[in-house]
Amino acid sequence: MKKRILRVTGILSGIVITGLLLLFFVKPPCLILRFTGFTCAGCGGQRMILSLLEGDIFGAFHHNPFLFALVPLLLGYGSWEAVRYIKQERPLYQSRRFFRILLGVLLSAVVFTVLRNLPGVTFLGP
């Protein structure tokens, strides 16, 4: 069990460090926006995270409402999956419902992307 806790801690630390390096040093541009001119479901995500780190909740929501709602759900899922791994239980991603939920999230991202690119729907833009 100690090995599993150390493994989860190492993976989470790696994810956080990589995310912070990308956020503060690399700052990758959105390739969809660059090549198509359309904003994707992730556009404004970096600014959203920076606003959250500064404590600006309303600014974070303004930059990307979709990710603002999705990030806590992803953190909850990741935590739940980590606890299940430590307890040596079957991973959630192997359940029958996982594919349906993932498909729902991807469909929501597509709908959000289409909506935020419609003329007159500026409040969803980054």
Q: What is the pTM of this model?
A: 0.80
**How many CA atoms, within 13 angstroms, populate the side-chain half-sphere of residue 24?**
7
**For the purposes of burial, counting CB atoms within 10 Å of the CB of 51, is it exposed (0-12), middle (13-18) or buried (19 or more)?**
buried
List, as own/partner pairs, every contact residues 72-81 make where C-beta atoms lie below 8 angstroms and the sequence separation is at least 24, other chains included.
78/12
Check: CB of residue 39 under 8 Å from CB of residue 33.
yes
Give 19-59 pLDDT, tens digit per residue. Answer: 888 877 878 888 888 898 888 888 888 888 889 888 999 99
Give 81-105 pLDDT, tens digit per residue. Answer: 999 989 999 998 898 899 999 999 9
The structure tokens 């729902």 sit at 104
Check: CB of residue 72 under 8 Å from CB of residue 45.
no
Check: CB of residue 95 under 8 Å from CB of residue 27.
no
CA atoms 12, 16, 93, 69: torsion sign: positive
